[in-house]
Structure 1
Amino acid sequence: MKRFVLLILLLAMALSVTGCLTVTGGNDQPDELPPEEQHLTADVDETEVWHRRHDDVWSGQDEPELVSRDFERISGAAANGMTVGQELLLLDFMDCYYQSIGQLRVIDPADLFAEPKQVAYHKTIWHDLCVIRKLSPIDLTMTSYSYALRCESITPSEETEGDVDMVLRESNVTYFTGLNGIPSEQFGIKHTFTLRGVGDRWLIVRHWSDDNAYYSADYDEETQQDRNFPAITDYIQARRELPRDEQTVSATAAHPYDRTAARQYMLSYVGKRNGDFKAYDDYGGNCMNFGSQVLLSGGIPMDTSGGYETGWYWYSASQTTLPWVNVGWFLEYAAAEREHGLVAVVNAPYFTGETGDIITMGVEEPANHTTVILDTIKDENGAVVDYLLCSNTADLRNFPASAYYYTNRQLTKIIGWND
C-alpha cells in the first residue's frame, strides 16, 4: 500500500462520472446459513501487530523537532507547530487503519496508544467494519488507497497537563477491488486526537472521528463489543434474502424525474456546498438538505402548500420546512398522499433503485442518514446487487452502500411529480 500525493484526489474526481457497473462476483459467502446460526459472521484475522516506523526520529532525542514548512506530510502541520514525532504518529495510525480495512483484517495498533482501552475500542470498530465489508455482495478489499490530512488546530489539553489536542480533516480515495477501477471518495472527515509524549516520542491518548462507524457504534467497555453488532449482521442477512429478480414499482407521475440532472448535481456538490442554501453540517447534518437539493435539481417542485411540518421548500434559513432538512420528516412527507407535487414510493423494493433515488439508513431505524444513488452495481446476470452513493455531512462520492456501517437501509423511489 502506498500513500499517494493529493493530486490523485483531483484525478479521481475527474474519473468519478461513471455508468452502471457490472461486477462478476464478490466475496465467497454462503447463500443460506444453517438454522442453528443466530447471526451472520465472517472471520477476521487479528494476529498481526503494527510496529512504529521511523524509529531513528525519536531514538535519543530530548528536544522535539518541528515539522519543516518545506516538507510537511500533513498540510498545516508546520503552521500549527506540529513536531515530526507527532506527524509520524498520526501517519502511522492512518496507515494501520487503512491497511486493516483495506485487507479486511485487523492489525493490532497497541504500539500507537497510551491506553489499552483505546486499543480495544479501535480494534472493535475496525473489526465491525471488516466483517460488514467481508459480507458485502461485492469484493470490498482495496487495491489501493490515498489520503490527505490537514491540521486545523493544536492546543494544550484541558484535562491533563502536557497532553495536546489536535483537530485534523481527512480526504481520501479508495479503490475497492470489486469496483474495477472506479474511485470511491470521502471528503472532510473530522478527527480529534489527544496526544501524550516526551521530547519527540508521542502516543495517542484518545481518538474520535465523525466517520460513520466511530460515532454510531454503541461500544461496551466491559465486553469490548459493539452492542449494535448483532443487529448489523441481521440486517445484512435480511437483505441477502430479498428477491433479486425483476421487480417493478407501479406508481406513475405526469412529469418524470430528471435523473440525469440529479446525477450531475450530486457529483457537483459532494465535498463542497451550494451557496444558495444554508449548510446544516453543524446543526444535525446536511445529508437531507443535500438530498432535497438533488430532487429539486431533478425537477421536483417545492411544495409551499403546507407549513413547517407538511411542506417541502427552502427559501432561507428562516423560510424552510422540516421535510426539507430532516430524514424522518422527509420520509413522512414522501409517503403522504397528495394530488400535486412529489410522487414517490417509500420503502420500495430495495433492489429497484435507480440514479437519483434516496436511500436512508441507520441502526435501529433507517432514518439516521440520507444518501442518493449515483449508480447501480449489477452482477453478470444484470441483477442489481449494490449501489454507489453520494451524500453530504459524511461527504461521499461513488461510495458502495455495502461499505457503510449503517446496514439498516430503506429505498425511497422517486417517480416524478404532478401539476
Structure 2
Amino acid sequence: MRKLVALLLLLAFSLAPGGCSAVSPETAEPAAYVSGQAAEPGLLIPEKGTGRLIENEEARRLNAAQKRLLTDYMNACYESLAALELCDLTPLFAGTCRENAAVSNLLLSYQIAVRKMQNEDLSLSAYRYTLTCTEIEEDEEGRIRIMAMEDSTQNFTAWPGVDAQRFDAWHAFVLTEEEGRWCIADHQDSFAYVMDESNPLPETLSEAALNAYEEALLAEARHFTAQKTQTVTRAEDALTAAHAYDRTAAVAYAERYYAGRNPAWPDYSAAGGNCQNFVSQSLLAGGIPMDTQGEAVWHYSGPGLGASGRSTSWAGVRSFYDYAAGNTGFGLAAAADEPFFSGAPGDVILMGPGSELRHAVIIVGLLQNTQGQTVDYLINSNTANLRHFPAAAYPYPHQILIHILGWNE
C-alpha cells in the first residue's frame, strides 16, 4: 500500500474517462496533460471555471513546467466535478507511479459517483480556485515535495446562485522528472487520508483489487444515501425543551468562524480536526449551556480531558452523538437520527465515509424545491473550512441529523 501523508486534517475533494477537451488534436490521448513545457500544446482547457497558482516566494522556486503540472491536476479535478465524468489523471503521473495514479482516479471516481447518487444535479455550472504553495523541498532523489493550500468557490447546477466556498484545503504533491519531463509521483489530500484510515486500501493495488474496493465503497454509499429519504416515526414521549434554542445566534456564530478561529477557544485542526469543537461553540452561542451533571456531560473548562477540562463530547464527533442521543436531564435537549430532511438552521449533521461518524457540520440554510420541500442543506464547518456548502456534495455519504430542541433545567 502506498504511504499516505498524515498531515493536518483539512477537508479537500479529489475526484474514470471522458468529459475533458484538449487544445491540440495532435496528442495521442483524448484528454492529454503533457506538462513538459509551459506553452506545450495538448493541455486541458478548463471549460467551466478558472484557477491559478499564487505567485508567492515558494511558488517562484518552481519552474514553468512544475507550476503547470499543479494547475493541470487541479483543472482536471474540477472539470471532472463540473461534468461528473472523470478526466483520466494517468497522463499526469510518471510511468513508474501508475499505481498512485490508479488510486487517485479511484478516489475521484468515487466522489463523482456519490454526487450522482443524489437527487439534485451536483454537477458544476462554474468554479474558481487558487492554490498557494506553503512549503517546497527537494529530496535526495531529486524529487520535489510540495505542500499547498487551496481556496475555492463552486457553483452547483442545482443551485447556481449559491457560492459554495472551501478554504485552506491541503494538498501534498511529489513531482519527479522522467524522460525529460516533470510528472506527478504522488498526490495526497485530506480525503485520501481519511478514506485510507477508515477503509484501508487493499495491500495489492491491482486493477481487480481496486475495482472490488471501489464497488464495496459504492455499495455502502448507496445504502447510506437511500437511508436519508426514509421516514422515522417519532415516539409519543419525544423529548421536549423548557428553554428555546436561539438558532439565529448559533448560525451567526457559524457564519463568523467557518474559516478563522475564535481566539478564545483552542483549535484542534492539527490534532484530529476542529469540526466538533466549532459545532459545540455554535451551540453554546445559541444558548445551550454546558452540562457537567450526571453521566452524560458536555463542557469545556480547559484543554485536558475530565471534569476540570473538557468532555470528550465537546470535541469528539461520536461522543457528541452519544451525548445528544442520551442526555435526558439538565442541558441539551436534542433528537438524534431525525428524518434527514426535517432539519432547520442551527441543527447539526454528523457524517462519515462509512459506518463510523467522523465529521460534524452545522446547518446554516435550507435548499428547497419549487414545492417548498427541503431537499438539501447549506452547511458551515471547520476542517474542512466550508461556507454555504451543500451537504449532499460532501463526499461522506453517511449523514444523520441531530435536531436541536433547546435545553432543560
* TM-score normalised per structure 1: 0.79
Query: Which residue, 68, 78, 81 being the options, matches 1:101?
Result: 81
Counterpart position of 1:157:
139
Summarize the Cα distance change of 1:385–1:243 in structure 2 as closer, same or farther, 3 Å threshold.
Answer: farther
- 1:313 and 2:299 aligned: yes
Report SS of the residue matched to 1:370: strand
- Looking at structure 1, the residues matched to 125 and 347 of structure 2 have their Cα atoms a distance apart, in angstroms, of 29
Residues 80 and 153 in structure 1, CA contact (< 8 A), matched pair in contact too: no
Amino acid at match of 1:118: N
The CA RMSD over aligned residues, in Å, is 2.6
Counterpart position of 2:174:
194
Residues 50 and 110 in structure 1, CA contact (< 8 A), matched pair in contact too: no
Query: Which residue, 211, 228, 239 being the options, matches 2:217?
Result: 228
Query: Which residue, 146, 150, 156 being the options, matches 2:128?
Result: 146
Report SS of the residue matched to 1:314: coil
Amino acid at match of 1:184: A
Summarize the Cα distance change of 1:374–1:55 in structure 2 as closer, same or farther, 3 Å threshold.
Answer: same
Q: How far 1:335 moved relative to its partner? A: 1.7
- Looking at structure 2, the residues matched to 350 and 56 of structure 1 have their Cα atoms a distance apart, in angstroms, of 50
Residues 36 and 181 in structure 2, CA contact (< 8 A), matched pair in contact too: no
Query: Which residue, 336, 350, 363 being the options, matches 1:360?
Result: 350
Summarize the Cα distance change of 1:414–1:200 in structure 2 as closer, same or farther, 3 Å threshold.
Answer: farther
Residues 112 and 203 in structure 1, CA contact (< 8 A), matched pair in contact too: yes
Counterpart position of 1:126:
108
Summarize the Cα distance change of 1:172–1:126 in structure 2 as closer, same or farther, 3 Å threshold.
Answer: same
CA deviations over 1:19-49 (Å, ceiling 9, x no partner)? xxxxxxxxxxxxxxxxxxxxxxxxx754754
Counterpart position of 2:368:
378
Report SS of the residue matched to 2:161: coil
- Looking at structure 1, the residues matched to 231 and 242 of structure 2 have their Cα atoms a distance apart, in angstroms, of 29
CA deviations over 1:143-183 (Å, ceiling 9, x no partner)? 1111111111111236xx11111100111000001113111
- Looking at structure 2, the residues matched to 111 and 252 of structure 1 have their Cα atoms a distance apart, in angstroms, of 58
CA deviations over 1:351-409 (Å, ceiling 9, x no partner)? 21111111111133252111111112222222221111111111111111111221111
CA deviations over 1:283-317 (Å, ceiling 9, x no partner)? 111111011001001110111335xx742111321
Counterpart position of 2:48:
none
- Looking at structure 1, the residues matched to 164 and 111 of structure 2 have their Cα atoms a distance apart, in angstroms, of 16
Counterpart position of 1:392:
382
Amino acid at match of 1:177: T
- Looking at structure 2, the residues matched to 353 and 271 of structure 1 have their Cα atoms a distance apart, in angstroms, of 24
- 1:282 and 2:270 aligned: yes
Identity of aligned residues (%): 33
Amino acid at match of 2:343: G
Query: Which residue, 287, 295, 317 being the options, matches 1:327?
Result: 317
Residues 58 and 136 in structure 2, CA contact (< 8 A), matched pair in contact too: no
Q: How far 1:87 moved relative to its partner? A: 0.8
Q: How far 1:94 moved relative to its partner? A: 0.2
Amino acid at match of 1:237: A
Residues 34 and 91 in structure 2, CA contact (< 8 A), matched pair in contact too: no
Report SS of the residue matched to 2:53: coil
- Looking at structure 2, the residues matched to 406 and 249 of structure 1 have their Cα atoms a distance apart, in angstroms, of 32
Matches within 5 A, 1:8-27: none
- Looking at structure 1, the residues matched to 89 and 353 of structure 2 have their Cα atoms a distance apart, in angstroms, of 27
Counterpart position of 1:209:
189
Report SS of the residue matched to 1:315: coil
Query: Which residue, 117, 128, 137 being the options, matches 2:99?
Result: 117
- Looking at structure 2, the residues matched to 277 and 77 of structure 1 have their Cα atoms a distance apart, in angstroms, of 32
- 1:262 and 2:250 aligned: yes
Report SS of the residue matched to 1:185: strand
- Looking at structure 1, the residues matched to 56 and 166 of structure 2 have their Cα atoms a distance apart, in angstroms, of 20
- 1:251 and 2:239 aligned: yes
Residues 359 and 411 in structure 1, CA contact (< 8 A), matched pair in contact too: yes
- Looking at structure 2, the residues matched to 247 and 83 of structure 1 have their Cα atoms a distance apart, in angstroms, of 64
* TM-score normalised per structure 2: 0.81
- Looking at structure 1, the residues matched to 267 and 236 of structure 2 have their Cα atoms a distance apart, in angstroms, of 36
- Gaps in structure 1 of 5+ consecutive residues: 1-43, 60-71
Summarize the Cα distance change of 1:345–1:296 in structure 2 as closer, same or farther, 3 Å threshold.
Answer: same
Q: How far 1:258 moved relative to its partner? A: 0.6
Residues 17 and 88 in structure 2, CA contact (< 8 A), matched pair in contact too: no
Q: How far 1:54 moved relative to its partner? A: 7.0
Residues 114 and 218 in structure 2, CA contact (< 8 A), matched pair in contact too: no
Q: How far 1:55 moved relative to its partner? A: 6.1
Residues 133 and 140 in structure 1, CA contact (< 8 A), matched pair in contact too: yes
The count of corresponding residues between Structure 1 and Structure 2 is 358
Amino acid at match of 1:317: P
Residues 83 and 200 in structure 1, CA contact (< 8 A), matched pair in contact too: no
* Range 330-339 or range 403-412, more displaced: 330-339
